Amino acid sequence: MNDCKFDNKTIHINNNNQNPWKTWYNTLKKAPLTPPDYVFGPVWTILYITIAISLFLFYRKDGFKKNSKGTFWFFAQLALNISWSYAFFTLQNPKLAFAIILLLDISIYMTIKEFSKVDVSSSQILYPYFIWVLFATYLNGYIVGAN
Confidence of residue 14 (pLDDT cuts 50, 70, 90): very low
- Look at residues 46, 50, 42 and name the one whose alpha carbon lies nearest to residue 123: 50
| Any domain includes 12 | no
| Any domain includes 2 | no
Compare 7 and 118 and report the one with higher pLDDT: 118
Tell me: pLDDT of 48 over 80: yes
| Any domain includes 41 | yes
The pLDDT score that the predictor gives to residue 21 is 73
Q: Is 70 helix (H, G, I), strand (E, B) or coil?
A: helix
Q: What is the CATH number of the domain that holds 115?
A: 1.20.1260.100
Q: Which domain holds residue 117?
A: 24-146
| Any domain includes 81 | yes
| Any domain includes 138 | yes
| Any domain includes 39 | yes
Instruction: For 17-57, give the secondary structure using H, E and C.
Output: CCCHHHHHHHHCCCCCCCCCHHHHHHHHHHHHHHHHHHHHH
Q: State the total domains in the chain.
A: 1
The pTM (predicted TM-score) of the whole model is 0.85
Confidence of residue 46 (pLDDT cuts 50, 70, 90): very high
The pLDDT score that the predictor gives to residue 62 is 72
| Any domain includes 5 | no
Supply the DSSP string of 80-132, one letter for each residue. Answer: HHHHHHIIIIIS--HHHHHHHHHHHHHHHHHHHHHHHTT-HHHHHTTHHHHHH
The pLDDT score that the predictor gives to residue 65 is 73
| Any domain includes 3 | no
